[in-house]
Amino acid sequence: MKSPEDRDRARPFRVAVVTLGCPKNEVDSEVLQGLLQQAGVPVTAEPEEATHVLINTCAFIRPALEESLAEIRHWLRRRDRGEVAFVGVTGCLVERFRRALPAEVLRADAILGIDEIPAVLQALQRPGFRPQRQQPPRFLLDHRTPRFLPRPSPFRYVKIADGCNHACSFCTIPAIRGRQRSRPVADVVAEIRHLVEAGTREVILVAQDLGDYGHDLKPRQTLQDLLEAVAGLPDSFWLRLLYLHPVHVTQDLIAAFQGHPQLVPYVEMPIQHAAEPLLRRMQRAGGARAVRRAVALFREHLPHWYLRTEVIVGFPGETDEQFAELLTFLENAAFERIGVFPFWPEPGTPAAALEDPVPREVLEDRLTVIHEVAHALVRRAQERLVQQVVPVLPERREDGRVVGRTPYDAPEVDLQVYLPRWAEGPVPARILRLTETLDLEAEEAKPHGNL
């Protein structure tokens, strides 16, 4: 029988990154692998093929932290059995617990904070590598930063800023990622141009808060400036916006959205709640007034847009009346896509110390009710599409069918469309029916209809 050392020598050296968490983490993972590839290190998109594995963790809320720790334990066991030679840990978990790292992380061969992303090659070459800095991270990619994009995909994420200047009482992101750091407009446009020229059909702009983009730059730039610059690109592609705080939705921003040649009629705008006392406890900028004003502006000026939102249920002090107010607001606003999250008292956040917690059984009942309301609203939005002709972006083949998305659906979080055969998209498709999961079945159609 071969020893672990013999097996390591027999296998070609190859590095993979396991990504947990949000699209912003996905970009960081592509950068990690891109830097290694640029240095001549073989990389792979398949962790099972790797000898060296880096785990890019998430630690935003407790379930994400537990998932990250479970993934770390899994790969440490594989290392101990000689199935991989090296396990490194990076990402939000490292930044959040830098002063007191969990035991699982300390067993890793290398630990990289966000600022150590450029040092990934040294981390692989020096087992025992540890982050040196203690201040909030400052690293930010630019259009020259290499990214490893192994799998063909019609969409790519473009991170236009990192960090956050808000002080929401429940949120760990500012402590993990630091204050906002924006990329200049010209730099973002250069990356988008490169991706589109390489065949990307959909560019998805991500940041902690797109609406705050550019306010930290000198001279100051804005999301409107970026959209105007992107509109000047000659190629045809979809442009999607994720993570827009309601406080930044203004008449000027809505005007920038109107008639933009690439923007799909969709935006993700987390409101978290609708009751003013709770939004104050959450320290949400603008409060209920900003939430109501943002929705009203979209519904008045962009009535055909689909709005995705996220809400928190069971925040400390949430009363039956405030929960009912949230339900009423969701129904009146008629959000087309809704994500629901229970409150998690994250250590180190102001909200974790708040009194008057919602009893667990009450929270469970409220989650059941709000999921039913959200399901009904999404169903209603999907039913409006039946017999309509809409563009569909094919993404992959699955069980003899082609799986794609409408402009009203972001990848990995929203719904899908099933087509009978492959075509280079976007392609016009007539929506035939809903499935039990609220996905859509469609057929190809002549290029007419509404969007």
Element (H, E) at 226: helix 223-231
Residue 63 CA to residue 66 CA, distance in Å, equals 5
Q: What tokens were used for 451?
A: 């969007």
Q: Annotate 385-420 with b (16+ C-beta within 10 A) or e (fewer).
A: beeebbbbbbbeeeeeebbbbbbbbbbeebbbbbbe
pLDDT of residue 1: 40
Residues 6 or more apart whose CB falls under 8 angstroms from that of 363 comprise: 313, 314, 342, 343
Instruction: Please provide the size of the chain in residues.
Output: 451
What is the pLDDT, as a whole number, of residue 4? 47
| Across 6-20, 346-360, 389-403, 416-430, least confident range | 6-20
Q: In the structure, what pLDDT confidence band is assigned to residue 135 with cuts at 50, 70 and 90?
A: confident
Which pLDDT band holds residue 450 (cuts at 50, 70, 90)?
Answer: very low
Mean pLDDT for all residues in the chain: 94
Q: Which residues pair with 87 in a beta bridge?
A: 53
Task: Give dist(CA 245, CA 271) in Å, integer.
Answer: 7
Helix (H) or strand (E) holding 396: strand 389-398
Residue 249 scores a pLDDT above 50: yes
Domains and CATH numbers, the chain: 4-125 (3.40.50.12160), 389-444 (2.40.50.140)
Measured CA distances, 93 to 171, 257, 377 (Å):
14, 36, 35
Enclosing H/E stretch for 368: helix 360-383
Query: Hey, is 90 helix, strand or coil?
Result: strand
Task: Give the burial class of 285: count Cβ atoms within 10 A of its Cβ; 0-12 exposed, 13-18 middle, 19 or more buried.
Answer: middle
User: Which contiguous run of DSSP H or E holds residue 70?
Assistant: helix 62-80
Residue 152 has pLDDT above 50, yes or no: yes
Global pTM?
A: 0.94
Residues 358 and 344: their CA atoms lie apart, in Å, by 11
Does residue 105 surpass a pLDDT of 70? yes
Give the integer Cα–Cα distance in Å for 223 and 379: 32
> How, if at all, do strands 417-419 and 401-405 pair?
antiparallel
Sign, CA dihedral 102-108-114-115, equals: positive
Worst-scoring range by mean pLDDT, 70-74, 272-276, 388-392, 394-398?
Answer: 394-398
State how far the alpha carbon of 190 is from the alpha carbons of 185, 230, 375, in Å: 9, 9, 40
CA distance 30 to 231: 26
Measure the N-to-C terminal CA separation of the chain; round to a whole number of Å. 63
Span 25-55, pLDDT tens digits = 999 999 999 999 999 999 999 999 999 999 9
Please name which of 380, 367, 368 lies closest in space to residue 306, comparing C-alpha atoms. Answer: 380
423 vs 47, residue with greater confidence: 47
Q: Sign (positive/negative) of CA torsion 21, 23, 28, 32? A: positive
Q: What is the pLDDT of residue 126?
A: 86
